[in-house]
Chain A
């Protein structure tokens, strides 16, 4: 599904503040795989995810999605395959727009947004039914501005928004970092359920080692812009939670 070939990213090349964020990462992610990436700050995991999303372009190397070379495609053209949940809930939703408007845009992720009114009673019903599955009681608030909701509610809705249109790849960039433990748990369970229900290929970046242990079918440890450990499903099963803590010891 996703092929990363010798990806490199250097910020500010040749200057005093040069940063070699990613130094030659090659990775093949199969359809339906749920990859969890952990690593210390500055290990290059967010830069790697940004390169897959298309908001950062690699200095060297290629990115293939569905066997198509997307290396030079900007983020807004990769939305055909990729949906994204950001670390900051504000980045993934439009605060001043209603929940309904946000969902309408998400429902058009892979298509051009034309000059016709797309929000009708059918669409409202569809959104209400989707939101109802969260069990947060938000289905009657769809006309409220997104900004009136809490961070946890917004992250959960962003997750739902990603499956409003056909979605193959879901990128999760520390989606629970800004949330309290209860909201974080809800968001992670929602993500896991959606990934399974819709058979999504997913990449999760997290600093939460418990989440890294509990979720995902493959675990990758990054350090200094390289893949340090790559543990597949069979081996991840036998892994103990303490092993993860030892990596950072």
Chain B
């Protein structure tokens, strides 16, 4: 049972990343894979500041800023230099590997005996419940902020940018600037996932971000399948389903581990699982 609780908690940690991928992929229609780098960057910044005993109100803004800068860089390369978004993301992600390594000075930084988010705040005596409630509140606040933002005039302009660029430009929006802001926001959220996971697992590792983009993609695709299934058009419900997608994704991975699949094959299982969800709607359509 512990297995599934851990999966649930991990799913909550990854929901910020899933929201980030939802923004870049679904709202802006940009395939952004800066994710692997900005996620690790979030973890690295967290680890460095925690081991230097910096207060929490500095760490989280620093993580958001770092992730935002990484995303903005991808955005600037993509819009100003007119480079394909995938390539721009790969470039920044690759460069971030070195940045992360030199920031940490080594490949792994343990966070044992430092006061993390989960040890500072006490809501419940049981550590697992405590972690759950902290994460739940954290995720609700983030989703609330993103949901509100998407309902504002700025948010509508954001959604229109990925939908009809000619239209939104003729309505007075600088789409280049909008995309840079969007990618900054997406990667800031991704970095927040790195921040949560590092503290949750108690260490930051240089390779923790490898393939993490697939976690976000998988979560968003699960959400999208549900969104299409139930014909959902409201922003709030869509965001809720993205959160659900992140948790479902982790639970499915927990099941595969539970039934005795070799942990070394986890990435293969992840890729196979995402392939199944992506192709499922089409396979079912053909069966009809």
Listed in ascending order, the chain A residues whose CB lies under 8 Å from chain B are 53, 55, 74-77, 79-80, 82-84, 86, 90-98, 101-102, 104-106, 108-111, 113-119, 143, 145
Name A113's contact: one of B169, B173, B175, B233 (CB within 8 Å).
Answer: B173
Chain B residues within 8 Å of A145, by CB: 233
- Contacts A76-B172, A105-B173 supplied; 19 other A-B pairs, CB < 8 Å: A55-B169, A75-B170, A76-B175, A79-B169, A79-B172, A84-B170, A92-B167, A94-B167, A96-B159, A101-B159, A105-B168, A106-B171, A108-B171, A108-B172, A113-B173, A114-B154, A115-B149, A115-B152, A116-B153
User: Could you tell me if A109 and B171 are in contact, using CB atoms closer than 8 angstroms?
Assistant: yes
Chain B residues within 8 Å of A90, by CB: 164
Query: Nearest Cβ in chain A — how far from B256, in angstroms?
Result: 34
A225 to B174 alpha-carbon distance, docked (Å): 30
User: Could you tell me if A79 and B164 are in contact, using CB atoms closer than 8 angstroms?
Assistant: no
A-B contact count (CB 8 A): 96
Chain A residues within 8 Å of B84, by CB: none
Closest to B156 in A: A101
User: Could you tell me if B152 and A117 are in contact, using CB atoms closer than 8 angstroms?
Assistant: yes
Which 4 residue pairs are nearest across A and B when measured between Cβ atoms? A79-B172, A113-B153, A94-B163, A94-B160
Chain A residues within 8 Å of B170, by CB: 53, 75-76, 79, 82-84, 92
Listed in ascending order, the chain B residues whose CB lies under 8 Å from chain A are 148-149, 151-154, 156-157, 159-160, 163-164, 166-175, 233
Given A76-B174, A110-B172, verify A91-B164 contact (CB < 8 Å): yes
User: Could you tell me if A96 and B157 are in contact, using CB atoms closer than 8 angstroms?
Assistant: no
Closest to B160 in A: A94
User: Could you tell me if A114 and B152 are in contact, using CB atoms closer than 8 angstroms?
Assistant: yes
Given A105-B160, A114-B153, verify A94-B168 contact (CB < 8 Å): yes
User: Could you tell me if B167 and A80 are in contact, using CB atoms closer than 8 angstroms?
Assistant: no
A94 to B164 alpha-carbon distance, docked (Å): 5
Given A114-B152, A145-B233, verify A105-B157 contact (CB < 8 Å): yes
User: Could you tell me if A93 and B164 are in contact, using CB atoms closer than 8 angstroms?
Assistant: yes
A211 to B274 alpha-carbon distance, docked (Å): 53
Given A79-B171, A110-B172, verify A118-B164 contact (CB < 8 Å): no
User: Could you tell me if B172 and A109 are in contact, using CB atoms closer than 8 angstroms?
Assistant: yes
A95 to B159 alpha-carbon distance, docked (Å): 11
